[in-house]
Amino acid sequence: MKITLLTGKIYDIKDELGIDIKVVPSRSVRRLILKIDSKERIPVLSVPRFCSRRKAVNFVNEHMGWIMTELAKIPKVKKFENGDKFLLFGQKVEICHQPEARCGVRLEGDKLIVSGGAEFLHRRVKDYIKKGAQKIFYAESQRLAQKIKQKITGVSIKDTKSRWGSCSSLQHINYNWRIALAPDYVIAYLLSHEVAHLCHQDHSAAFWECVELLNPDWKRGHDWLKKHGKTLYNFE
């Protein structure tokens, strides 16, 4: 097993399981704390000051059963494959692989036609989604911004592991591409959330009032994202 420090140092520990564990040195903790980062799919060990390597290793080994149980609960990383059915911008679609189609990726009704070799299918579908998100999210964000008399300098589609979206002080909005796979009311909530940050860079009462103005049904999307959002990270 390896315990990997944020500093880049690696401690090799003789263990047949061969699990990587991220070790986070912290001055704020007084005892060893072990948790599972479900997005990174890795155990994380917070280590207090002056904790010896041997003590950290023994602690991990004592809790190996718990680690294995929790890791087993995390769904495997999902790649797009022929026949997959999923929501795309609120519409249920099915991937239909047609190697000789020579169309790249195109949507025909509820069929997402993907050409080329099977080894390129996942990347092509993902690129198609990100390109679509750029166009759709930009247009809708602009529309929402106009309602509150604000301007957007740009919209970027990111592959982040910790945030669904962000809005900079320069009026530039970033969106996680995976939000395109959520129900339409969830997409509507997230876009309203980020556009509201054009007026309020905090989460004050005034901010939430702005979100409500843009999307009266925002709570439904907020609650879905809080409860089910982590499932979207099953897609690599």
CA–CA dist 8, 71 (Å, integer):
23
Range from 28-37, 66-75, 98-107, 113-122 carrying the lowest mean pLDDT: 66-75
Q: Residue 212 class from Cβ within 10 Å (0-12 exposed, 13-18 middle, 19+ buried)?
A: middle
Using one digit for the tens of pLDDT, what is the confidence trace for 79-95? 999 999 999 999 999 99
Please report the DSSP string for 70-83 in residue order. Answer: HHHHSPPPB---TT
Residue 25 CA to chain centroid, in angstroms?
Answer: 25
Predicted pLDDT at 5: 47
* Amino acid at residue number 89: F
Query: Taking residues 217-235, what's their average pLDDT?
Result: 94
Please state whether beta strands 20-25 and 2-5 pair in parallel, antiparallel, or not at all (unpaired).
Answer: parallel
Position 3 pLDDT exceeds 50? yes
Query: Taking residues 7-30, what's their average pLDDT?
Result: 66
Q: What is the pTM of this model?
A: 0.74
- Helix 205-214 to helix 121-147 angle (10° resolution) is 100
Q: What is the CA radius of gyration of the chain?
A: 22
Q: Which domains does the chain have, with CATH numbers?
A: 2-73 (no CATH), 85-234 (3.30.2010.10)
Using one digit for the tens of pLDDT, what is the confidence trace for 153-166? 999 999 987 799 99
Most trustworthy range by pLDDT among 61-65, 67-71, 178-182: 178-182
* Amino acid at residue number 3: I
Predicted pLDDT at 10: 45
The whole-chain average pLDDT of the chain stands at 90
Residues 6+ apart with CB under 8 A from 30: 48
Burial 157-170 (b: 16+ CB within 10 A, else e): bbebeeebbebeee
